[in-house]
Amino acid sequence: MNGRDWIRRHSAATTVPPDRNGAGPAEAVRIREREAETAAAARLRPQVRRLLQPLPLVGMLLVLIALIGYWSVYRASTTRTPVLVAAHALSAGSVLHASDLRTGELAGDGRTMAALVPERELDALLGRTLSVAVPAGAPLPRAALGGRAAGTAAFTLVLPALHALAGQLAPGDRVSVLATYGGGSGQARTKAIARGLEVLSVGSAPSGIDSAAASIPITLALPDPSLASALALANSDAKLDLLRESGGARAAPIPPASEAGP
C-alpha cells in the first residue's frame, strides 16, 4: 500500500458520518445540543410546578415575613435614645441640679422610653424635687419628679451678653459674679461679689439689636438673700462679669485686684 492509499483510507475512517436525516457533522452537533437543552428543560418543569403549588408558596412567604420581623427587631434594639441618668445617688426630696444628672443612651420600646426623661428636657427639670430616691447610674423616671422647690430666693442681673460667657451660659451652671468699680479712672478695682451661684435662666437679646452689644437678663439663685443688696449696687455702679465655676464647688479664692496695685 502506497502512502496515497493509506491517507484516503485513514480519512474515511475518521470522518463523522452524517446522521440518519442526511445532515452534515456540524448540523448533527447542533441537533444534539438542542435535544440536550430540551431534555434539561423537561427535567426542570416538575420542580418549577412544585414550587408554584400553594404549600411551597406559603412556606416561602412565612420565611420572608420572619426575616422582615427579625430586621425590624434588630433595628429597634440598636436605636438608642439619650436619657437623663443619676450622676450619684439621689434621695427623695432632693432638688435637682445640673451636677446631679448626666446623659446615658438606652434602647427600648416606645412605652419604656416614654416613661424616662430624655436629655433635651434637662433645663426644665432644674429646681424640681424628687418624690422617690433614684440610685446612682439609674435612668430618671418621669414618675419620680415632684414639684419645684418653694421659697428659693433669686435675683436677676442685666449685663452685656459678652460679659455672660458670650452666649455659652446655660441654666444649671454655677457662676461667680465679679464687679469692677471705677473703670477708666486709673484706680479701677475688681472683686468677687458672690461665688457659686446657680443660673436659673438666661434671657435672650431683644430682636433688632446687635447681639454682641445687647444686654440680657441672667437670673441667679441666692442661697443667702442678703447678697441681693450687694448685687443690686454692683449691677448699677460697676461693670459685671460672670465666671463659670467647675462642678459647682468653690475652687481657689479670687483675691481683689486694682489698677493702683496691692
**Residue % of the chain over a pLDDT of 90:** 11
Mean pLDDT value of segment 77-103: 83
* Alpha helix positions (H), 15-101: 25-51, 54-78
Q: How confident is the model at residue 226 (pLDDT cuts 50, 70, 90)?
A: confident
Greater pLDDT, 21 or 125: 125
Helix 54-78 vs helix 25-51: angle between axes, to the nearest 10 degrees?
Answer: 70
Residue 230 φ then ψ, to 5°: -65, -40
pLDDT at 203 over 70: yes
Q: Which range scores top for mean pLDDT: 16-20, 147-151, 197-201?
A: 197-201
What value, to the nearest 5°, has the Cα angle with vertex 85 and ends 84 and 90? Answer: 120
The pLDDT, as a whole number, for residue 241 is 92
Q: Do residues 154 and 223 make contact, with C-beta atoms less than 8 angstroms apart?
A: no
β-bridge pairing 239-245 and 215-222: unpaired
DSSP 3-state of 7: helix
Greater pLDDT, 262 or 80: 80
Q: How confident is the model at residue 231 (pLDDT cuts 50, 70, 90)?
A: very high
Q: How far apart are the first and last CA of the chain?
A: 136
**pLDDT of 91-133, one tens digit each?**
877 888 878 889 888 877 778 888 888 888 877 777 778 888 8
Q: Do residues 64 and 43 make contact, with C-beta atoms less than 8 angstroms apart?
A: no
Residue 128 φ then ψ, to 5°: -85, 155
The fold adopted by the segment(s) 81-148 is Type Iii Antifreeze Protein Isoform Hplc 12 (3.90.1210)
E strand residue ranges, 119-238: 128-130, 145-148, 153-160, 174-181, 189-202, 215-222
Greater pLDDT, 187 or 40: 187
**pLDDT of 22-48, one tens digit each?**
555 666 667 677 777 776 655 655 555
Q: How confident is the model at residue 77 (pLDDT cuts 50, 70, 90)?
A: low
Q: How confident is the model at residue 56 (pLDDT cuts 50, 70, 90)?
A: low
CA separation for the pair 153, 25 (Å, rounded): 109
**Residue % of the chain over a pLDDT of 70:** 64
The pLDDT, as a whole number, for residue 76 is 56
Residue-averaged pLDDT of the chain: 75
Question: Residue holding cell 458520518?
Answer: 17
Largest pairwise CA distance in the chain: 139
Spell out the long-range contacts of 232-237 with Cβ–Cβ below 8 A and sequence spacing 24 or more: 232/155, 234/177, 234/179, 234/193, 235/157, 235/158, 235/159, 237/181
Q: Note if the pTM is more than 0.85.
A: no
Sketch the domain layout of the chain as residue ranges. 19-74, 81-148, 153-258
**pLDDT of 144-185, one tens digit each?**
888 766 667 889 999 888 888 887 888 878 899 999 998 777
CA separation for the pair 140, 145 (Å, rounded): 9
The total of other beta-carbon atoms located within 10 Å of residue 88's CB is: 12
- The radius of gyration of the chain from alpha carbons, rounded to an integer in Å, stands at 43
Mean pLDDT value of segment 217-228: 86
The pLDDT, as a whole number, for residue 154 is 85
Question: Residue holding cell 427587631?
Answer: 73
Torsion 231-236-239-240 (CA) sign: positive
The pLDDT, as a whole number, for residue 234 is 92
DSSP 3-state of 95: strand
